[in-house]
Chain A
Amino acid sequence: MAALLEVEGLSAGYNNLENVLHDVSFSVERGGITAILGANGAGKTTLLRAVSGMLRRRGSVRFDGRPIEKSAVEDIARVGVAHVPDGRGTFLELTTEENLRVGAYARRDRRGAALDMERMFGYFPRLKERRRQQAGTLSGGEQQMLAISRALMMRPRLLLLDEPSFGLAPLVVQDIFRIMRGVNAEQGVSVLLVEQNAGLALDLADRAYVLETGRVVLSGPAAEVGADENVRRAYLGF
């Protein structure tokens, strides 16, 4: 069976269609975790935005065998792609609980959504303590938990994660990655992960791609990419 997400010859950018990503191809297997590594400015965030439709793009993007490169953001979200964006996309003036309910907006099963909210509070008890609090008052780590939970409330088949470790304390990061692993294993949610912290990402992922100035320069099973001499020197620090 074909991969869940297949991207071929993707080019995208801001204003100009080609100025960030050039002819990028990659895939995410069903139930798999794919990591995209790269330095600042390599085009990682742009790549996720191009997949979820936030940017104009050229090339082929197929989700579950269906082309989505012409679809609007809302429609891509509704077929099961949940994007946890750069900056976390928190609805600052809504409460924590309302933020989660926004995630469940496009779902029809009210009861399932209520159960899922309890599940999120199980993953992140901190969110439960803060459920009636205005989300703008949450800490960075709590907002990241909220962003991931909001995305999971959509019951996605594919989760796009943009730098979930960004600006967070190591313990919080560990927590988040442990839960991502659990969600992937138990719920079968596939993950496309963009990270600067290559060690963490390679540990979680089964496939990895290295992006440099908008082009894929290396790809393969995560273990192989992690063993590559250049990757070790440039991204892992040894």
Chain B
Amino acid sequence: MEAFLHQVFSGLATGGVYASLALALVMIYQSTNHINFAQGEMAMFSTYLAWAMIHAGLPYWWAFALTVAVSFVAGVAIERVIIRPVESAPVLSVVTVFIALLVIFNSVAGWIYSYTIKTFPSPFPEQPLFGNRFISSHELGVIGVTLVMLAVLYAFFRFTPLGLAMRAAAQNAASARLAGIRVGWMLALGWGLAAAVGAVAGMLIAPLVYLEPNMMSGVLLYAFAAALVGGIDNPFGAVLGGFLVGVLENVIGAYVIGTELKLTVALVLIVGVLLVRPTGLFGRVFVTRV
């Protein structure tokens, strides 16, 4: 029982990371109907930036905050400079651009920081908190940071005029323009937020999977699975999907198929959802009257 609970809790921790990355995917999907395949590599690159800052002697949380800020700006810049010109291009061209970004980030990271695996520090104590036996401090910290970030994002989109404008721009760009909303900038902001959220996810998962240019490839697959399970156009679904996938991965990995086959869980989920329920478990029941 104790071991089972431990699997569940550590599943929730990695699930929080999947949830964050899935949310980043959904944010961009909602406004552009594109899946940013480079989201994971962008997060990986952000994590390298954090690593470099920490190595240069910056305290962990300073490096954390600075990385989030730099990633946000970089996300905005990528949208403006690289994605904007292909805005109205056919889907395949856009996918090609995303794949190119993925490859570029991957090889540039390898070129600058080398492909050797590095350890990435955790800001949380090594001893489990309160002497509990179910969950390490880092895992608890990951869950905490994820929940805080999700709450902040929710409040931003729900209660601020800018958040509302971003939602409006994503839903109906033409109508948003007519209300004076600068839709182009809203898209860029969305990219910035997605990059910042990805950066947090990268920094949280790095102590567990270790830092190397391919560290996010598995995580991105789980995030895809999470987004699809939850419903690709539903941010709440993506978050719930993330936690669900994290727990399933751990429990099924530990008790059913063994850790070597864990990644198949994600693939089976992706294929299963697409076959059985393409809108996802929490796919918005969207009512319209014509």
Contact = CB atoms under 8 A, between A and B. Distances in A.
A74 interface: yes
A217 to B, nearest CB: 29
B155 interface: no
B102 to A, nearest CB: 30
A105 B165 contact: yes
Contacts of A102: 164-165, 168, 176, 179, 181
Contacts of A105: 161, 164-165, 168, 179-181
Contacts of A138: 289
Given A101-B164, A137-B287, A94 B178 contact: no
Contacts of A226: none
Interface residues of B, number: 23
Nearest to B30: A93
Contacts of A94: 164, 167-168, 171
Contacts, number: 83
Interface string A53-83: 0100000000000000000111001100011
Contacts of A184: none
B178 A73 contact: yes
A85 B175 contact: yes
Contacts of B284: 93
Given A98-B164, A136-B286, A136-B289, A106 B171 contact: no
Nearest to B168: A102
Most chain A C-beta atoms within 10 Å of own C-beta, residue among B161, B177, B182: B177
B128 to A, nearest CB: 43
A96 interface: no
Nearest to A75: B180
Contacts of B174: 54, 85, 89
Interface in A93-127: 93-94, 98, 101-103, 105-106
Contacts of B182: 74
A135 to B, nearest CB: 10
B179 to A, nearest CB: 5
Contacts of B161: 101, 105
Most chain A C-beta atoms within 10 Å of own C-beta, residue among B179, B286, B287, B289: B179
A105 B289 CA distance: 26
Nearest to A84: B178
A31 interface: no
Given A102-B164, A134-B287, A139-B289, A92 B171 contact: yes
B286 A93 contact: yes
Interface string B144-174: 0000000000000000010011011001101
A46 to B, nearest CB: 14
A123 to B, nearest CB: 19
B33 to A, nearest CB: 15
A89 B171 contact: no
A189 to B, nearest CB: 16
Nearest to A105: B165
A77 B177 contact: yes
Interface string B176-190: 111111110000000
A80 to B, nearest CB: 10
Nearest to B185: A74
Contacts of A54: 174, 177-178
A140 interface: yes
A34 interface: no
Contacts of A98: 164, 167-168
A154 B287 contact: no
A90 B289 contact: no
B116 interface: no
17 contacts: A74-B183, A77-B179, A77-B180, A83-B178, A85-B174, A89-B175, A92-B286, A93-B171, A93-B284, A94-B167, A98-B167, A105-B161, A105-B168, A105-B179, A106-B179, A136-B288, A137-B287
Given A92-B172, A93-B284, A98-B164, 8 more contacts: A85-B175, A91-B175, A91-B176, A92-B286, A92-B288, A94-B168, A101-B164, A102-B165
